Amino acid sequence: MFKFQEKGKRPPGESRPEKGGSGGREKPGRAPPLSTRLYRRRWAIVLLFSCYSLCNAFQWIQYGIINNVITRYYRVSSFTIDWLAMIYFLVYIPAIFPLGVAMGFLVPPILVPNVDDLDQLTYHINIMFYGTAAVATVLFVLVILVFQEKPDVPPSQAQAAIHASPMQDYSYIQSILKMIRSTPFFLLIVTYGINTGSYYAVSTLLNKMVLTHYPGEELNAGRIGLTIVVSGMVGSIICGIWLDRTQTYKQTTLVVYFMSFAGMVVFTFTLNLGHLWVVFLTAGMLGFFMTGYLPLGFEFGAELTYPESEGTSSGLLNESAQVFGIIFTISQGKLIDHFGTVAGNIFIFVFLLVGTILTAIIKSDLRRQRANKNVAQEASIPGNHLLDYGSTAATISSFIFPLRLLSSERLASKAEEGICSSIILNEAAL
């Protein structure tokens, strides 16, 4: 197994006790800071997990975005092809499903063009099948070699406090029950499911919606999907930077949710105008907020449920998304088939309006932020050694912006620390 450690120097995130005036002894009356450490190995794991998520999500959307081609080749109904996407939602309920679809939108229409010759079509489909299988196999081997369950030393004061607390019997079921009994988190489960389920439904049925009004535009249907995802990545970055500066989790989530609703309304009533550039523009607006909401939901959930496992809270949010994704995809697909795209999209934005109202009701209880601040005050830890896992912008900054371009000292120090949070996993997978 690989060991990504730096020798001969103190790890950049390791806490140091404050020194008083007597030979470096700790100040009386204050507990020493808990030991934390950042490992370079985490970047390899983030990169590998992102590649795995990309590969998984590619397979989710690769048939839906060329729905008309696969329907003709296998001589099945459009609804059957929709199930190739929905089976991911269904399987997640007892298993797991990550996010991300950009390559799935972009590559299949290029690899599998809409040609009349079935032999040639078979050749192109085989390229997509075997190529996907090869990438998935390589990633499988790398996961076995590189992945590590957890670091030897916790990366943040909040996590260190959990590890330092007395060991108690842990029950996964009790943890889940405790989370869903929390009214704010239960409301977040519902609202996250509505928003992300809407995103899944729109993504799955995008080919059908675009080709209804723009026949023969399979490639542009994929590019519109790519526009939704890329603009969502930009939205995630901007929302993350704002979240880092303000710590306004509920307010930011509420504004982004409302704009997702507004974006869906605009997309609905401009899809049939006959101008593809308008569709690209409105789809970009929709994606900026709808896709940008995904990591915000994870971060808000982790705040509301601390000190419970973030993996469990994220799993519950994703499970809700899969359930709503199945319901919305089937319902919207049937509405589009019988009444047209406008009726199908109205169904989606009505639920987004309901989700916006429910989001406004959620009580903002930032437990993880409070725990980090309490530990910092008790141990007198300097601010730049406090790893704030609620801040999502810093990791993006460390990847995209050189340190010299960061205007904020706070962002620069966090970029050096390389804070790992859900946003970088979501962004890279997208």
Q: Residue for token digits 């490639």? A: 219
Q: Is the peptide bond before 382 cis (omega within 30 degrees of 0)?
A: no
Model pLDDT, residue 279: 93
Is 203 inside a domain boundary? Answer: yes
Contacts of 12 (CB under 8 A, 6+ apart): 38, 416, 417, 418
pLDDT in tens, 230-276: 898 888 888 878 887 888 888 889 999 999 999 999 999 999 898 99
Its sign, for the CA torsion 130, 131, 136, 142, is: positive
User: Where is mean pLDDT largest: 27-36, 68-77, 417-426?
Assistant: 68-77
Q: Which two tokens stand for residue 428?
A: 């890279």
Model pLDDT, residue 420: 42
Is 18 inside a domain boundary? Answer: no
Range of the domain at 355: 41-162+172-429
Is 54 inside a domain boundary? Answer: yes
* Alpha carbon distance, N-terminus to C-terminus of the chain: 28
**Residue 342 to residue 228: CA distance in whole angstroms:** 19
Distances (CA, A) of 131 to 69, 81, 142, 219, 347: 19, 20, 17, 20, 37
Is 21 inside a domain boundary? Answer: no
Q: The domain spanning residue 423 has which CATH number? A: 1.20.1250.20
Contacts of 162 (CB under 8 A, 6+ apart): 154, 307
- As a whole number, mean pLDDT of residues 90-102 equals 53
Is 65 inside a domain boundary? Answer: yes
Which has the minimum average pLDDT: 3-7, 124-128, 160-164, 173-177? 3-7
Is 12 inside a domain boundary? Answer: no
pLDDT band at 82 (very low <50, low <70, confident <90, very high): confident
- As a whole number, mean pLDDT of residues 290-315 equals 83
> In 214-309, which residue ranges form alpha helices assigned H by DSSP?
218-246, 249-270, 276-290, 293-305
Q: Answer for the pair 151, 42: CB distance below 8 angstroms, yes or no.
A: yes
pLDDT band at 2 (very low <50, low <70, confident <90, very high): very low
Per-residue pLDDT at 402 exceeds 50: no
Model pLDDT, residue 225: 86
Could you tell me which of 195, 207, 196, 217 has the C-alpha nearest to residue 276? 217
DSSP string, 79-93: HHHHHHHHHHHHHHT
Is 167 inside a domain boundary? Answer: no
Considering only residues 94 and 177, tell me which one the structure prediction assigns the higher pLDDT. 177
Q: Please state the domain count of the chain.
A: 1
Is 26 inside a domain boundary? Answer: no
